[in-house]
Every structure is written in C-alpha cells, then in structure tokens.
Structure 1
Amino acid sequence: MEPIQKTDSMKNQKFFLPFLLSVIVPIFVLLIFAFLGVSEVWNRKISDSFFLLLPSHNSFSKDVVIVDIDEQSLAQYADNPDLGRWPWKRTVYPILFSYIQMGAPKLILVDILFTESSEDDSSLAEANRSFSNISHAVNFRTDIGAQVDEKKEKNRKFEIPLPKDSPFPTFNTVSFPNGEIGETTPFVHAVNIIPDSDGTLRRFAPFLKWGDSHYPTIAYQGFVGSGTAKPYLEKNFLTLSKNDKTFRFPLGKSGLIRSYFYSEKQIREIPRYSAGGVLQSQTMIQTGQAESEADLIVPPGFFTDKIVLIGTSAAATHDDVVTPFGLFPGVIAQAVFISNMIENHTLYEIPEIWGGLFAVVLLTIGTYVLFFATHHWLRIAFPVFATAVFLVSFYVCYRFNMVLPPSHFVTSFPVSYLLGYAYLTYIEGKDKRKYNSILRNLVDPSVVSHALEDLESLKKGGEWEITAFFSDVAGFSSISEELSPSELARLLNEYLSAMTEILKSNSGTLDKYIGDAIVGIFGAPLKNALHPELACKASLTMIQKLAELKASWVEKNDYTESARKMKIRIGLNCGPAKVGFMGTESLASYTMMGDTVNLASRLEAAAKDYGADILVSETIEAACRDHFQFRFLDRIRVKGKDQPVQIYSLLNTKEKETKDEAKGEITYRRAFDFYTGQKWKEAIQEFEKAQEFFGKKDAACQLLIKRCEVLFQEPPGENWDGVFSRTTK
C-alpha cells in the first residue's frame, strides 16, 4: 500500500511544533529562571533533598572534636557567679585551654568572640603567651557607609598572601580580639557564616577579604592547624600545599565552597564534650579525686592530636544555623567545614550550563520518542527511563563529590512532557475526530471506537484477509434517462442509504460509491474472522431489502416502471488485500487494493451472464458452505488473470434450501462433468433437465447449453481444461 504523500512543509511543520513545545519552550523557561537566579536556589534546594535520601559515602574527620558550652554546662554551675550565666567570665577560658593542652592538641579554635574590652582580658592574654596553638575569632562586617579601616601593623601577621582580585567575600569592617588578646593571640580566624539566599548554610569561604587583604576563616585555620600552607588560585580552584601534599578545592560564586554535610546521623555523632565536664575534670585533678585518667569525665587524651573547637550550643548563646539537615549549633557547621577541608570532602558544583545541556539532550530524545517513535509503550517507558538516567547520573556525580545541577531536568522535563502530551492529545484528538468522521460514514459506529484505539496502525494500514464487496444496479443508465435529476437523486439516496445501512450493520466498511455502484470491505479496518459470512448475510439482506423498496415504490407508484423493477448484482471474493487510508494528507479514503479486489469486481460483472443476483468465488463458498446455500455455476478465467476460479451463486441460508434446488444442483454438476469431458450431447441433455428444477429460463443452464452447441461445432481440442476465459471485464 502506498503511503500518504506528505509535502516538505508538512514534514517541517510536524517536526517544528513538537520541537518548539517540548524543547524550545522549556529551554526558554530555564533561561528565564537562570536570569532571575531562581535555578541556582532550586539547584541547591533540590540537591539537599536528594542528599537526604542518598547514603553518605564520606566519613567525618577523626581529627576534629568540640568542647561545647551546652545547657548542661550552664545548669551545672547555675550557682557559680562566673559560670552560672552567659556570657562566662573570660577567666574561665584559660582553665579550659590549660586542661585541653594536657592532651597535646594540634590547635584550639575558639568560636567565641572577644572583641569587647573586659577587665579579665589579661588572663586570656597570658594564656595566649603560654600556648602557641590557640586561634581566636575575628568578626567581619559590612557596615553601610563605613570605609575600610586603615590596617595596623599588629594585624599584618595574620594576612594570607593572595591576589587582590580574588573572588572571596569582601567586608569593610573587622572586629579583631580586643586589646591584649589580639596582640598576643598566635592565630586568628573569621567565624562568619554566609547562608544562601534562602537562609540555609551550605557553603563556606576559606578566606575573607578586608579591603585588599585576606584573612583565614575557621575552616582554613582548622585545615592548616598550627602550621602553614601555600595557597594559590587556579581558575575556579583553590590549591593548597601542605606537608608536601596538594589539595584542590572547587570555588563557586563569590569564592565560596559547597560543603559536604555528611549525614544527619554523622553530624549528631560528632565528638562533643561538655565544657562543664572539662571544668569538672580539671577540678577532680586538682582535688585528687581522680586516681587515673579513666576516672575523669573528659580525659585529656580525647584531645591528643585533635583540632579542638570551643563553641556553644546552649539556647542562651543564640548560635544556631539552618543546615540542609535542619537547625544545628553554629559550631557544628564550623566543624563540618573543617572536616571538609581536612579530608577534601568539598563538593564541586557542576556549572549550570552542563545541567542545562544534560536536560536538553533528554528533552530532545523525549520529543522524538513522544512524537516519532513507532512503539507507543516507549511514551510511557521513556519518562521512567529518563528519570532513572538523571538519578543515576546525579548519584554517580555525587559519589565523586560533584553536584549535577538538578533543577534544569526537574523543571524542564515535566514541562516538556506535559506540553508534548497536551499537543499530542490535541493532534491525536484532531486525527481521531477526522478519522472518526470518515469511519462513521463507512463503518457501523460500534466498530469505530475499536478501530480508533490504535490510530497509528489504522492510518498505516496493512495486508490481511478481507472480503471484497461490489454491487451494481442492472440497466441503471436506462433508468437514469427516464428520471428527472431530482428524482434520480432521490432514488439514489433512498437506495444507497438502505444498502449502506445494511453494509455497516454487518460490520462492513464503505469503500466508495461509483454512481449507483457500491464498493465495500468486510474484515477491515477492524479484523474479523467471520468477514465472509457477514458479507454473505449482508448481500442476502440487500436483495431482500431491494424487494421491499420496490414493493413500496409500486404501492406509491413512485419513479418509473423500470426503476420499480430495478435489479442489482453483487460480486464477493475473499483473500489477502492491502487496506488502509490512501491519498494525500488532507484528502484520504479508506480503501483496498489487490487481486482479491479485482476478482470481486469481475464477479459482479459476470453475474449478469449467469443470471445470478449474488456471484461469489470458491473461497467464499468454501468458507460459508455450512451456513449458506450455494449453487455451482462454472469454472472461469477472468480477464487479466491466468488462474481459473470456480464461481457460485449465493441463493439463501442453508436452512432455507429446498429439495428441488438440491436435486437441481446434483443434475447441474453432472451436466458440467459431461461438459468438461467434452460430451456435448449428454451435457446438453443434463442442463435441460436441470432447468426443470431451476426454471425454463435459467440463465446459467441456457448459457452452458449454447456453449456446448458451439463447442460441438468447433471442438476445443484434447488439451482443453474446461475453463471458460472471459474476454470482457
């Protein structure tokens, strides 16, 4: 079957609109979101959600511990004037430092600001002089209208040599530890936290800038410990050389590093020792209550070779931050940042352009699958497949400490598929309405819904066994000449409507009208194994219906006498044929093609010679002989075909067969055997006997008698096969 022809403009339109809706529009939406900064926020929020579900593949550093001024520490010394309220007097901290130093830690990081003057500053200054591994907190601020303060010489020892145009966050005001504390502290570190625009803390800076000078943050200072590192910037990476090892940290916008927050369980299990327990352990040593280190609440050995953070978690200290895992004390977040740098667990945020390209590739493939794939199950399977590809890709990147931007796929793919499905639904609905309109004029409405369930197959068609139906009105030209145009139109409408209704009610499909002729198909577009029987039933019903119409016309004295005596001839044949919509994209009809169809047409024309109302092929007779009465007529070779075929007249249903008709059939077949055996006289005698059962004017008997008389005069020869070759259609 030839496919429906499509112009280049039609093809381009069919490709452009799906591509526009399923690819271009989602990309445009992504560009708007990227321009507004929405995609960046969504990337981090969505990735947070995934991180909550994915198992952690990194472990928190064993080198980091916390001394926590918690609720227990405040409650334990509620009656102590120095410890029972917050903030603690600064004379308490040297006691903590001293006890921690007994365990020989690498560095003590104080996550508490001492930027204001106090009468106890000298005690902290003395501790700074005694211990060379203490780092005090610095607070950076951006004050509106303030200018960068001129840096004093005392602060230059804390500066980090980095290019002035580095991307790190810049501030115009810095609060260093007050007075003697700042002058004597071995190290300083910034304790600023920089949450994202949604208030969640996900990133940290290794350095902060005051004017053109760089200062370490608590994360960087915890990484180097009490030693040093050589930092230098390389594109979007910070490279640090420490102890002959090189570490590379990916820098995002504003010089911030995306933190790996491990898991909620690991965060809650970070070693935290109550500051009250440390102080109590110190008292136990001083009073001799502990005979060994094991008797202490917090043994000094817990701090050996550790980075020790001293911070707060008590509610009164107001030092909570929002993390991807919820609300945690700020010191916990700082500990995570230090662990990230020590263990090189920071996350590389893949640039958004790659997340967009990843999404575009899947959108393009999805568009092809949705609109052009031949297997409909792919439309359902591909979203699952694409989601799986995205999740696997995200997870693989995550395992390598990279973050694939998720918002592009999560946003664009549903939009793409929703728009695509909406457009596809509209197009298929439009197609179904078009084909529904066509089919309802061709087929019984009850069949239409079934045929439209697989619209693509319906449009494509195929080749399978059908029954071809041809009918024609005998002598219609003469009838039409006797009628006025309006009467002719009325006659045709009445006749064709009645016949078509019978065709459709028997699951037949109207192929076309050719003037008064009707061409029909049984067994398509909806396959039906009973198509030969349905065709026979419809044909007999049409003959009966025509008799009813003629009786009505006679009663009404309608039309002309010729019209009232109208006869029709029907030809039926079943076999393989090509069926489907053929024509152009804008004008197509459901039709059939092939030898099976041609033979049915020839049988309808041959019916006139045999005086048969319904002439059928041997395939119809073989399929329906158990239910219908057939009369054998001849073996013929139609024009344009070498293969002979046996032809039969369809008389009635099997149960209505009479004894005379059965005897006549036997006699006729015996006569035909004489005929094929070239026994012309015997054949003529038997055909004449057959007429006694079928009637004196039986056309088939008279035709064969005349043929025998001719062949008697002009014998066909020894090689004659008994097949009559028709020279006309």
Structure 2
Amino acid sequence: MPGPASTWPRKRRGLAVGCAVLALFCALLWGFPAAFERLELSLSDLRFRMAARPPAHPDIVFLDIDDESVRLLGKWPLPRSAHAKVLNILTDCGVDLVAFDVVFHGPSSGDNGEREDAALEAAIAKNGRVVFPVGVGLVKEGEVVRLSPEADDLPLLPSILPPGQVQVPNLLQAETTFLPLARFSRHAVGLGHVAATPDADGVFRRMPLCVGYHGQLLPSLALTSVLRHLGATAAARPGRLDISWPGHSISVPTDKEGLLPVNLAAPWGKGFWHLSYAEVLAAANDPARLAFLRQGLKGKLVLVDLAASGTTDIKATPLSSAEPLATLHANLMNMLLRGSFLRQAPAWQSALLTACFLACITLLFLRLPIRAFLPVGLGLAALCPATVLGVYLASGLALNLTASTLCCFLFVLGLLAEGLARTAEESARQKRMLEVYFCPAIARQILESGTDIMEGRSVDLSVLFSDIAGFTSLSDHMEPAEVQRFLGEYLEEMTACVFRHGGAVDKFMGDGIMAFFGYPEAPGVDSVENARRSAVAAVSAAVDMQAALKRLNARWRAQGRHEIQIRIGVNTGHCIVGDMGSKTRREFTLLGRNVNLAQRLESNAPKGGVLLSARTAALVRDHCTLNQPAQIKVKGFDQEVEVCSVHLPEDETEK
C-alpha cells in the first residue's frame, strides 16, 4: 500500500477541493450564523429527547393554578384571600418552603382590597418560609440598564458573592424590576428572579442562575428556593456556581452569561406531583383529604405556578410546544437537588473534535484507493455526530453537532467528488489504452474485474505472429502514401479477426502482427483450460485471417492493385506478461521462449498457411483439420521442433 509521501502528488488536488469546500462552508457559517444556529437548536432538541431523563426529586411539588381553580374561584387574578387560605393549609401540612411563581406587584383593588392583602400578609408571616419572584428584564453586559426606583431596596443575597471575591464578568444584567408588595416581601425568606431567555427559535432551553444587578448578583427563584430548602450557601465564579451545605457541596456549570441548560425531567404533568389550587382548597372541608395532604406534603418544596390556559406564561420547551414556564423553575430546582447538569461545551472543544476527525479523514484519503475510501470516509464522517451524541448521552456535555457534522461530511464529499472524477478520468484513459490491445468486450471485462494487467506474471496462453510474404520488395514499388493506405486496410481487417476471437494485439512490427489469446483469464477457469481455450481461439483467428485476406485480395484484384500472401505461426505455452520498459518508455507486452518460438514458426510457415507448435496442435486437434506433423530446425533452438500445419479450405499454400 503506498504511503502518504507517494500518494500526496496524486491526491493533492482532491485535498485542495476538500479544503475549498470546507472553507466555503466556514464562510457561510460565519456570514449566516442564524440559519446554522436554528439548525443546531433543532438537532439539540432531538439529541435532548434521546437522552435519559433525570428522575423527578420527590421533594418538589407543583401547586397549579389551573383552569379548574380559576373556574371555581370565579375570576383572574384570584382573590388574595384564596392565596392566604391555600398558604395556611400548606403551613398546616408542614411544607418546608413555598415558592410563588406569581408576582404580587401592587395592592389589591376594590372595597375589600386591604382585607385581602392583610389576610395574605398574615399567612406569609405565619408560614415564614415563602420565596417570592422578582420580575426583571434582561440585557447583556455593557448595554444600558434602566433601574426601577422601587428596586433600590431590593434585598439581595450577599452569600452569592462574598466580599472580596472576584467579580463575574459577562453576566446578563437585570433592568426594570417588578417587586412583590413590600408588606409581603418583608416576611419572605428570600426573593428570586423569574427571567427566562428564549433561544433564536423562541424555545426556552436555558435559565440564568444569577443575573447582575447594580454591581451585585440576583439569584433565580429556583436557586433561592433550593438554597433555603437545603440551608446552603452559594458562591459565584466565572463559569460555575459553587453550592455547599453541611456535609455536601456541588459545582454548577454555567456559560459565560450565567445561563444553565435546563435538564427537563418530564413533560408537563408527568414526573412531578401536581396538585391544583382547587384540590387544596377543597381539603379545608375534607378531613380525609387534609390528612392525605399532611402526609404527602410534609417537608416538601412547593412551587405555586400559573397553569391556566390562555395565560402569557405558556411557552415552548424542548419537550413540548406549549407548557407553563414554571416547569423550567421546577426542573432547575430538580437539577440543583439531583446534581444532574447539562453543559454546553466551549467552542474550542468542538473545534478540536472536528479537527481530529478531519485529520483522520485526510489520512485515510491518502492511504486508501478512492473506492475503498468511499464507505470508510462516509462512515468516519457519520462517526462524528455519533461521537457528539455519545458524549452527550454519557456525560451531558453538549458539543456543537451541526458545524462538526457538516464540516466532516462536506470535506468527505469534496474529497470524493474530486477523487471519483479523477478515477473516472483514469478509467476512461485506461479503457482507451486497453482498447488499443483488446477487443471492447475484453477491455470492459478487465475494467469491471479490476484486474491489474500491468503487473508482471507468468500465464499459459497462445501467441500468434503473422507477416506478409515479400512485402519489403513489394513496398519498394509503391508510393509512401499507397503503402500507408495499403497497410491500414490490411491491418484493420487482421485486427478485426483477432478481436473477433477474443484476442489482443500486442504490437504491429511494420507489416507484421503480434497477438495473444488467453489473457486475462476468464473468471473461474484454471490454467489448463485457459491454455486450451487460448489455442482454439488463436488458431480460429489465424484461419479467419487467411480467409479475410482472400476477400481483401479479391477486392484489390478488382481494383488493379497488388495481392499478397501471409504466413502465420501459433504457439502455446507459459509467457511473461506485463508492463515492460524504462521510466521514460514503457509498453504492455509478452516475453519468453514461447514468444520466440511463435515468431520462428511464422517465419517457417508456408505462404498462405498457418504453422502450429506440437502443443498447440494437440490442444486444437478436435477443432480443426491438421496436416501431418514434421520436424524442423528453427533459429535459436538447439533441437528440432515438431510442428504441424492447419489444413485450410481449398488449401493452396506453398513453401
């Protein structure tokens, strides 16, 4: 197998085409990132759905304000006295923490507004373990931030960024905020933002664990809830958030903006325990139901969410085209409690993986013939997305799938396009070369079988030599153009006879012809049978040549031109076949003692006759009529050689 050094000159054009295709793709990727980003997002959702789902943590319970709850209570927003009743029931059930994904921004309206707010404030104070949301708008680092005057007193968690610790750059920044009513928030155990950022296709896949605010960090509702539920502290650092509580610690990976891909445990309504507001309110008058809730809710982290249809909180996620965004908060809590995180690989890791595959593809392209490279190259290109998928399924690390896969496949297709075009050119050139020696059928057989006829080997076959008797003196009386025309007509007819019987013309030697039969061997034929078939074909061609010459002579006679006679000699035996010559001049030919004997037989053959060696005669005895054998002395052979001539129809041969 040729090594890369010897293969490079032949394949550098293919590599150039592959690199050009790769460069064009990179330019498109750079110029139209949005199109590729959308494709990557779609593929990432497919990859996400293939992965195993993390189990839902039993401590997390959804308390849904659903359509039935709104119908029961008669209107939206629900009266705050209803929230107070539900919160009191939860307190009675011994829940550990209640996180509201409902913003109580201003005071209640109406005549009973103060009474409604007072009831809820009392319920919050009684529970003592309530977390409220903060509505914020998000901008990127460096963009203009518009702060709400009411946000000046926003209670932040100093444990998120201890004094003296390095700041976290590039975080998303909170601008206009919507705080819960102060009379509610002062009794809360914590606050957390509920901002979510959709991707370019409008699907929500990531949540910011923390956002920057006025030089500090504001944690998410999920993070605040989990920290309070575990009694934990957190410290933010670039690219991660470290959480620790007695006897435990975890490190949460984030991107540079503080975003964390949400590892959804299940579609909405599955996995986690879902209760409705109506169900909890009904328990106030149902002791058995209340006892059940006390048993099931003790020590739980309850997320109160808005799940009624027609609300603005219904969005698309990787698992559903429409579900409440509270599922992101709950699943973020689940990830923090389970430690089941997804990580987006940095760009350099995806680039390194792609470079490794491209290097392997290049090496195989240099090492393998193009037809062998076709399945191997495509297989290796397909291995790239399989590797990306495998890494994700095994570790949750999300490498770029679109760019890596397209780079590999387009590079392979570029190599294949040029390589197959070059192979087609080589095949056409080889076909033209073969058709100089072989009939079209044999040339096609050689090409289809992939036989390397240029490789030197010994083959048992038959060789035919023919020569025009007295042509030298005849040509002295002819003009050069007439000689050229005469030989053209003659050699065309003789070549047709050779090809008609499956032979090949090795060369023309002036007016002489050297032809061979039995190479390449027919598939599935052994050497003995190949020799027999070659002898029959060679002798049949020789007889055909003599008959064709009679027809030519008749035509020339009618035209008043010269007539000729030819001698033909045929021998069967082992010959060396292959590509012979120097670096600058080579040709496909036959060599060996049996070739020389065939040539000597031709010079000893009678005019208009066919002279065979003893072996050839033995092989064709059942296929033609032979004259009596004779012993003759031939040049270059120490002993006499047994020969036999073919009895031709209307045999008028002469010595």
* Alignment TM-score, normalising by the size of structure 1: 0.77
CA shift, 1:605, in A, is 3.0
| CA–CA separation in structure 2 for the residues paired with 1:57 and 1:312 | 24
Separation in 2 of the partners of 1:48 and 1:116?
A: 39
Choose the corresponding residue for 2:118, options 118, 122, 147. Answer: 122
Alignment partners' CA distance in 1, 2:631 and 2:275: 110
Of 40, 44, 49 in structure 2, the residue corresponding to residue 43 of structure 1 is 40
Q: Indicate the residue corresponding to 1:279 in structure 2.
A: 281
Report the Cα offset of residue 272 of structure 1.
0.7
Specify the SS of the correspondent of 2:272.
coil
Q: Alpha-carbon deviations, 1:337-374, whole Å to 9, x = none?
A: 11112111111222233333333433444455457524
Paired residues, what number?
630
Say if 1:456 and 1:178 are closer, same or farther in 2 by CA, change over 3 A.
farther
Q: Partner of 1:493 in structure 2?
A: 488
Q: Deviations over 1:421-480 (max 9, x none)?
A: 332332222223323333334333333433332558467686654433333323332222
Matches within 5 A, 1:124-523: 124-142=120-138, 147-149=146-148, 154-159=153-158, 160-161=160-161, 163-264=166-267, 268-284=270-286, 290=287, 292=288, 295-296=289-290, 299-326=293-320, 327-369=322-364, 372-374=367-369, 376=371, 379-380=374-375, 382-384=377-379, 386-388=381-383, 390-391=385-386, 394-454=389-449, 457=452, 464-523=459-518
Preserved contact between residue 96 and residue 299 of structure 2 (Cα < 8 Å): yes
Match of 2:621 in 1: 625
- The one-letter code sitting in structure 1 at the alignment partner of 2:477 is E
**Distance between the aligned counterparts of 1:263 and 1:457, measured in 2?**
61
Contact 1:170–1:209 (Cα < 8 Å) also in 2: yes
Q: State the Cα distance separating 1:106 from its structure 2 match.
A: 2.5
* Deviation by residue 1:691-720 (Cα, 9 ceiling, x = unmatched): xxx99x8x6xxxxxxxxxxxxxxxxxxxxx
C-alpha deviation, 1:214, in angstroms = 0.6
Q: Which residue of 1 aligns with 2:54?
A: 58
Distance 1:549 1:617, change over 3 A: same
The secondary structure found in structure 2 opposite 1:221 is: helix
- Matched residue SS, 2:186: helix
Match in the other structure for 2:527: none
- Where does structure 2 lack aligned partners over 5 or more consecutive residues? 524-529
Unaligned runs of 5+ in 1: 78-82, 285-289, 659-693, 700-729
Deviation at 1:208, TM superposition (A): 1.4
**In 1, Cα distance between equivalents of 2:370 and 2:25:** 30
Contact 2:18/2:414, CA 8 A, preserved across alignment: yes
Task: Say whether 1:109 aligns with 2:66.
Answer: no
Could you list the per-position Cα deviations for residues 55-85 of structure 1 after superposition, in whole angstroms to 9, with x for gaps in the alignment? 515312222110001112123x1xxxxx211
Aligned match of 2:82 in 83, 92, 99? 92
Alpha-carbon distance between aligned partners in 2 of 1:502 and 1:436, rounded to the nearest angstrom: 20
Q: Do the aligned partners of residues 346 and 135 (structure 1) sit closer, same or farther apart at CA in structure 2, a change above 3 Å counting?
A: same
Contact 1:635 1:645 in 2 (8 A): yes
Change (3 A) 1:234 1:135: closer
How far 1:492 moved relative to its partner? 0.4
| Distance (Å, rounded) in 2 between the aligned partners of 1:33 and 1:627 | 73
Q: Which amino acid aligns with 1:132?
A: G
8 A contact 2:611–2:643 mirrored in 1: yes
Q: What is the aligned partner in structure 2 of residue 614 from structure 1?
A: 610
Aligned partners of 1:69, 1:147: CA distance in 2, in Å?
Answer: 32
Q: Which residue of 1 aligns with 2:13?
A: 17
> Quick one: distance in 2 between partners of 1:592 and 1:427?
27
Cα gap change, 1:460 to 1:33, in 2 (>3 Å)? farther
Q: CA deviation at 1:105?
A: 2.2
Instruction: Quote the Cα distance in structure 1 between the aligned partners of 2:580 and 2:284.
Output: 95
Instruction: Report matched runs for 1:678-697 at 5 Å.
Output: none
More moved, 128-137 vs 111-120: 111-120
- Which residue does 1:726 correspond to in 2? none
Q: Distance in 2 between matches of 1:430 and 1:100?
A: 81
Kindly state the Cα deviation for residue 618 of structure 1 after the two structures are TM-superposed. Answer: 4.6
- In 2, Cα distance between the equivalents of 1:194 and 1:217? 13
Instruction: Indicate if the aligned counterparts of 1:633 and 1:647 stay in contact, CA closer than 8 A.
Output: yes
CA distance in 2, matches of 1:366, 1:296: 66
User: Is the Cα–Cα contact under 8 Å of residues 466 and 577 in structure 1 kept in the other structure?
Assistant: no
**Is 1:603 the equivalent of 2:598?**
yes
In the TM superposition, 1:681-720 aligns within 5 A as none
Paired letter, 1:305: G
Q: Which residue of 2 aligns with 1:712?
A: none
Give the residue type in structure 2 aligned to 1:155.
Answer: L
The aligned residue for residue 557 of structure 1 is 560
Structure-2 change in CA distance of 1:338 and 1:438 (3 Å): same
The Cα of 1:170 is off from its aligned counterpart by 0.8
Contact preservation (8 Å) 2:617, 2:644: no
8 A contact 1:273–1:298 mirrored in 2: no
In the superposition, relative to structure 1, how do residues 584 and 347 fare at CA in structure 2: closer, same or farther (>3 Å)?
farther
In 2, are the aligned partners of 1:172 and 1:211 still within 8 Å (CA)?
Answer: no
Aligned to 1:42, what secondary structure does the other structure show?
helix
Gap change, CA 1:103 and 1:614, over 3 Å in 2: farther
Taking the aligned partners of 1:149 and 1:510, their CA distance within structure 2 comes to: 96
Quote how far apart the aligned CAs of 1:215 are: 1.0
User: 1:568 Cα shift?
Assistant: 3.0
Equivalent position SS for 2:241: strand
Task: Report the more deviating stretch, 83-92 or 177-186.
Answer: 177-186
Look up the equivalent residue of 1:161 and give its one-letter code.
L
Hey, what's the Cα distance between the residues in 1 that align with 2:251 and 2:479? 98
Which letter maps to 2:271? E
Deviation at 1:546? 1.6
Per the TM alignment, residue 195 of structure 1 is displaced from its structure 2 partner at its CA by 1.4
- CA separation of 1:372 and 1:608: change in aligned 2, threshold 3 A: same
CA drift of 1:283 comes to 3.0
Q: Are positions 1:70 and 2:69 aligned together?
A: no
| Cα distance in 1 for residues equivalent to 2:144 and 2:273 | 43
1:611-690 alignment, distance < 5 Å: 611=606, 613-630=609-626, 632-634=629-631, 639=636, 647-652=642-647
Q: Distance in 1 between matches of 2:362 and 2:625?
A: 57
Identical residues among aligned pairs (%)? 18
In structure 1, C-alpha distance between the alignment counterparts of 2:28 and 2:347, rounded to whole Å: 13
Kindly state the Cα deviation for residue 149 of structure 1 after the two structures are TM-superposed.
Answer: 4.8
Q: 1:42 to 1:518 in 2, by over 3 A?
A: same
CA–CA distance in 1 between the matches of 2:126 and 2:583? 96
**Do the aligned partners of 1:109 and 1:222 also contact (CA within 8 Å) in 2?**
yes
Map of 1:545 onto structure 2: 548
Shift in CA distance, 258/634, structure 1 to aligned 2, threshold 3 Å: farther
Check conservation: 1:278, 1:297, Cα contact below 8 A: no
Taking the aligned partners of 2:252 and 2:575, their CA distance within structure 1 comes to: 72
Q: Cα–Cα, structure 1 residues 226 and 325, in superposed 2: closer, same or farther, change >3 Å?
A: closer
Could you list the per-position Cα deviations for residues 601-633 of structure 1 after superposition, in whole angstroms to 9, with x for gaps in the alignment? 442234323548434445534443332345544
